[in-house]
Amino acid sequence: QVQLVESGGGLVHAGGSLRLSCAASGSIFSIEKKGWYREMAWYRQAPGKQRELVAEISSGGSINYGASVKGRFTISRDNAKNTVYLQMNSLKPEDTAVYYCNGDVYLDEYGGTWSGWGQGTQVTVSS
């Protein structure tokens, strides 16, 4: 089994910054030349709204951002720590949401994966 644990959320004023972390633990297998995951992503969900993609990073390092955060947020990883980060700069009140980590993590040498979500971390941006 695999667990994804987010941290780093909190209350910040508009224009401020936060860095979220998503640490994966459990039965993770690192495949040579592929790494420990196939795809990792950050999503967010504001009250009354659908969950939306914030940023994603493939095992090969390809990155994609949601339109509303492009240029302000940066996704990165530390493969030695099985951790993915989300650096959030120039935060706006509309960035207020619960931020969730989502991942496809390798379980074995054959490419079998576990797919799931973390518990979420609240980010609140005051105006």
- The pLDDT tens digits for 1-53 are 899 999 999 999 999 999 999 999 999 999 988 899 999 999 999 999 999 99
Task: Tell me which DSSP letter residue 35 carries.
Answer: B
Reference 51, options 41, 60, 61, 59; nearest CA is: 41
d(CA 16, CA 32): 39
Task: Tell me which DSSP letter residue 49 carries.
Answer: S
- Say what the pLDDT of residue 33 is: 84
Answer for the pair 12, 117: CB distance below 8 angstroms, yes or no.
Answer: no
